[in-house]
Amino acid sequence: MSNEYLAYENDLSTLRYRTFMTIFSASFSLSYLLVDVLKLPTFSYYPATHKMAWGWLPSSVDDGPAMYWYGWILSSLLMALVVSYLCSMLPINILKRIPLSIAWILPVALIPCLIYTLKFYWR
Amino acid sequence: MNWLFDIVSVNTFWTILLIIHGLVSVALLGALSHQAMAVMRPAQLAQKDKTFFDAFRSVKATKYAKAICVLWVMSFILGGWIYSEYRIYVRIPIEQQEFYKTLGAFELKEHLAVFGLGMLPIYHFAWKFSQQENYAKLRKYTTLFLAVVCWYAFLTGHIVNNVRGYGA
């Protein structure tokens, strides 16, 4: 293999790696907000009884309050991994066009939405 | 866990865990503050002309990146562990006292900590290639984001810890 080809391969793998990281940051925050709003945690956890159940379940008299935070994190992690992997496999000319700034601009832009989802508390 | 509670009481255990969480957060806050200052306004003065603020920002910011990632994950795991206890023994009494804004601020802290966690891979990538000028903006803004979130989380954690008074 020529040095030129190795440099190209190296560049491509760095580009894919960079895209994966960039999209992961953006998609993780976006999917976290979506699973929160759409009530899509992977599981619900009842800290009073240490019981776990798949999906979203309401708080109950027997098991106490339900927690969804752990489930949201897992759901968004899985979604972000899939999206980032798929994006990192895009053709090189598209990869080069993905702006790095999306990694921090999207999470910052989603903060007002997060604040809005907590409107119950701002009274 | 029962074997552990034979050695220390349940209250002592959670208090120790909360203190460790606080200490890890202090280390993280310090590291991020130094790095954020260094990346926002790099010091260029000669050694003898340095003020306190110049010295504060003249750290080798690259050296902090790995430690910050490790501390963020550690603090996140400890916080996540304590969160289940908080849900039962802290949040419910605060709800009963109707400190809704305090609770909202704490919920926002949990959300932002997750955003920060998701940003760690690209933050680490940006600092890994710290010689690359085209990643300078990425380094700057991811570091700034993490620093702001860390300060917010730290202060909110303190407020929630103190909202019901010492020993409550």
Work out the minimum CA distance from B91 to partner chain A, whole angstroms: 11
Residues 62-101, chain A, touching B (beta carbon < 8 A): 64-65, 67, 69-70, 72-73, 76, 80, 100-101
Alpha-helix residue ranges (DSSP H) falling in A1-101: 3-37, 69-88, 92-95
Work out the minimum CA distance from B112 to partner chain A, whole angstroms: 8
SS3 A64: strand
Q: What residue type is assigned to position A112 of the chain?
A: P
pLDDT, tens only, A62-74: 999 999 999 999 9
* pLDDT confidence of residue B56: 85
Are the Cβ atoms of B108 and A28 closer than 8 angstroms? no
Say whether pLDDT at B48 is over 80. no
How many whole angstroms separate alpha carbon B106 and alpha carbon B162? 12
Contact with chain B for residue A44, Cβ under 8 A:
no
Q: How many helices (H) and strands (E) does chain B have?
A: 7, 0
How many whole angstroms separate alpha carbon B31 and alpha carbon B28? 5
Are the Cβ atoms of A118 and B104 closer than 8 angstroms? yes
Burial of B39 (0-12, 13-18, 19+ CB in 10 A): buried
Contact with chain B for residue A43, Cβ under 8 A:
no
* pLDDT confidence of residue B133: 87
Residues of chain A with pLDDT under 70: 1-10
Are the Cβ atoms of B121 and A69 closer than 8 angstroms? no
**pLDDT class of B20 with cuts at 50, 70, 90:** very high
* pLDDT confidence of residue B43: 75
φ, ψ of residue A52 to 5 degrees: the values are -125, 145
Residue of B104, B117, B142 lying closest to A104 (CB–CB): B142
Averaged pLDDT, B3-10 = 85
- pTM equals 0.92
Are the Cβ atoms of B118 and A48 closer than 8 angstroms? no
Contact A79, B95 (CB under 8 A): no
Q: Which of A74, A78, A86, A72 is nearest to A23 (CA)?
A: A86
**pLDDT class of B140 with cuts at 50, 70, 90:** very high
**Residue in B with minimal Cα distance to A100:** B138
Which residues in chain B have their CB less than 8 angstroms from residue A65's CB? 87-88, 91-92
User: Residue A57 is inside which H or E element, if any?
Assistant: none
* pLDDT confidence of residue B7: 86
